[in-house]
Amino acid sequence: MPGRYTSEALSEWMKDNGPDSDIVISSRIRIARNLRSFPFPMLATNQQSREVMEKIAAVLSNEGLTEISELDTMHLADLNDLEKRVLVEKHLISPSLANESRNGAVILSKNESISIMVNEEDHLRIQVLCSGFQIKEAWDLANQLDDIFESQLDYAYDEKRGYLTSCPTNVGTGIRASVMIHLPALVLTQQINRILSAITQVGLAVRGLYGEGSEATGNLFQISNQITLGQSEEEIIDNLYSVVRQIIEHERAARVRLMEESRHRLSDRVNRSYGILSHAIIMDSKEAAQRLSDVRLGIDLGIIKQLSARVLNELMVMTQPGFLQQYAGQKLSPEERDIRRAQMIRERFNQA
């Protein structure tokens, strides 16, 4: 079963062109929940974490869940390191679950838009992913899933504090709403620092591709709520939605400005990156991310017509270290990965 989820770079949900998908890559809702009578995973014994898994597994036969999607359960103990790394690169599990989890598991829908982590930092983390700017749609589905689990599990809940979580920053609603957004024009027009500063002042956090502690490479930024206590779920979603809507408009305006004021320079940059990606023999991950960002911008602005944005979405995952090694069927040295990465990009460009 793991092969089904680790052999393909692009999850089915990513193949859809959601609203504003030229700028917003994906929308995600993650809900953290814990069971009342059990210690948090980091303090639980093996027996306790097994019991948590059994209680959650029992809910999977619920008619409401089966109507939403057929779900597969994968135990982390049954996966090798490369398979776990690929799941992290596809945002289906967290690095925390991959690296340190007793009796950890992930429950996935066939199209991989639903990912439910068990015995990670919390007993239960319900995640929903949608293509483009669909944060409200993602919330509706995540809320539906949460209601089903809550109807059959005794959640750790306090009337004053809300849902109790392992990390104090998640206490309250337990919800993290985020969007992955591509902002190359704001970077090129040197407006990005002002925009990011304004974002942090309205209770939102800005991170890189893999969340907390990761670098924003390839002009990709993850924008999410910081506050989980003192606001309702709807207020959190509405705040994120309105801010991201403004960022989208700023990025669109910056793209228009670039085309009006620097069309030749921009076309030169885009085509140089396309040429290098088409012919390079060695390519490290940072340079690949930046040049793929240039090409993605060129596709969105009609400068490059021979490629589709879907190819770029695939390469975002295919060029990551775990997928490169999974595809090769063996562990690779950093230089071997750089050679494979360049080869994969060349081949994918030629197939388009």
Task: Consult the annotation and say whether 214 binds a ligand.
Answer: no
Task: Consult the annotation and say whether 11 binds a ligand.
Answer: no
Confidence of residue 104 (pLDDT cuts 50, 70, 90): very high
Would you say residue 120 has pLDDT above 90?
Answer: yes
Q: Which residues of 181-212 are buried (b: 16+ CB within 10 A; e: fewer)?
A: bbbbbbbbbebbeebbeebeeeebbbbbbbbe
Query: CATH number of the domain at 2-254, please?
Result: 3.30.590.10
Task: Consult the annotation and say whether 180 binds a ligand.
Answer: yes
Confidence of residue 215 (pLDDT cuts 50, 70, 90): low
Task: Consult the annotation and say whether 132 binds a ligand.
Answer: no
**Dihedrals phi, psi of 18, to nearest 5 degrees:** -75, 175
Task: Consult the annotation and say whether 51 binds a ligand.
Answer: no
Identity at 32, one-letter amino acid code? A
Nearby residues of 286 by Cβ (< 8 Å), 6 or more positions away? 217
Mean pLDDT, the chain, rounded, equals: 92
pLDDT given for residue 327 in this prediction: 84
Task: Consult the annotation and say whether 91 binds a ligand.
Answer: yes
H or E element, residue 38: none
Task: Consult the annotation and say whether 292 binds a ligand.
Answer: no
Task: Consult the annotation and say whether 328 binds a ligand.
Answer: no
Q: What is the mean pLDDT of residues 67-87?
A: 92
Task: Consult the annotation and say whether 259 binds a ligand.
Answer: no
Confidence of residue 6 (pLDDT cuts 50, 70, 90): confident
Q: What is the largest CA-CA distance in the chain?
A: 65
SS3 label, residue 74: strand
Task: Consult the annotation and say whether 61 binds a ligand.
Answer: no
CA quadruple 170, 173, 174, 175: dihedral sign: negative
Task: Consult the annotation and say whether 157 binds a ligand.
Answer: no
SS3 label, residue 95: helix
Task: Consult the annotation and say whether 211 binds a ligand.
Answer: yes
E strands in 160-241: 162-163, 175-182, 204-207, 220-225
| pLDDT, tens digit (0-9, with 9 covering 90-100), for 13-38 | 887 789 999 999 999 999 999 999 99
In contact, 106 and 97? CB cutoff 8 Å: yes
- The CATH 3.30.590.10 domain(s) of the chain lie at 2-254
Task: Consult the annotation and say whether 27 binds a ligand.
Answer: yes
pLDDT given for residue 209 in this prediction: 57
pLDDT > 70: percent of the chain:
96
